[in-house]
Copies of this chain bind each other. A is one copy, B any other.
Amino acid sequence: MGVVDSLPGRRARMVAVGVIRSDADLSTDLRLLKIAEGLDAWLDEHVPDVVAVERVFAQHNVGTVMGTAQAAGLAMLGAARRGVPVALHTPSEVKAAVTGSGRADKAQVTTMITRILDLDEPPRPADAADALALAVCHLWRPAGALQGGDRHELTPAQRAWAAAEQAAKQRPRR
């Protein structure tokens, strides 16, 4: 779980970071309950304008994909119950957004998100750094990935980011 605020000038500030854990000895139903309760607590505490969730593909990691898909489903449900728009980004999009390469490794993502958010120390575990990177990825490309079409009106902050991104695209890159 990573919560960020958008600041002017394509900057972002970390609000909170953490991991929701469930006991691997519990049955799947009770693990999902634990995760859903954790998600509810985060959503109720931080009241996000948008929730970004990693897009999971069935092709990869057959052993863990079911649980990952189910946890992602709970995040989407928690957001939808609160009327909060959901955005999906692929791991490659997230890596590319924060490191410049869609094939960056976990260490690079951690290094870059620590720098981007001006953190005193790298977020641990790597999954927490991934969550922050996903949030920053979404801040930097808010318009494209939102689900649900016209249901999802952009917040003022998102509009500002979209405008900044548009402006950045029109400037020549070094």
Cβ contact within 8 Å between A56 and B66:
yes
Q: Is A29 in the interface zone, CB < 8 Å from B?
A: yes
Q: Is A73 in the interface zone, CB < 8 Å from B?
A: yes
One of B29, B33, B62 near A58 (C-beta < 8 A): B62
Q: Is A28 in the interface zone, CB < 8 Å from B?
A: yes
Q: Is A126 in the interface zone, CB < 8 Å from B?
A: no
Cβ contact within 8 Å between A32 and B73:
yes
Q: Is A139 in the interface zone, CB < 8 Å from B?
A: no
Secondary structure dominating the interface of A: helix
List the number of copies, as a whole number: 2
Cβ contact within 8 Å between B27 and A77:
no
Contacts of A63 in B (CB 8 A): 58
Cβ contact within 8 Å between B32 and A80:
yes
Question: A70-B73, A74-B73, A76-B32 are known contacts. Are A26 and B148 too (CB-CB below 8 A)?
Answer: yes
Cβ contact within 8 Å between B77 and A33:
yes
Question: A56-B66, A69-B66 are known contacts. Are A80 and B29 too (CB-CB below 8 A)?
Answer: yes
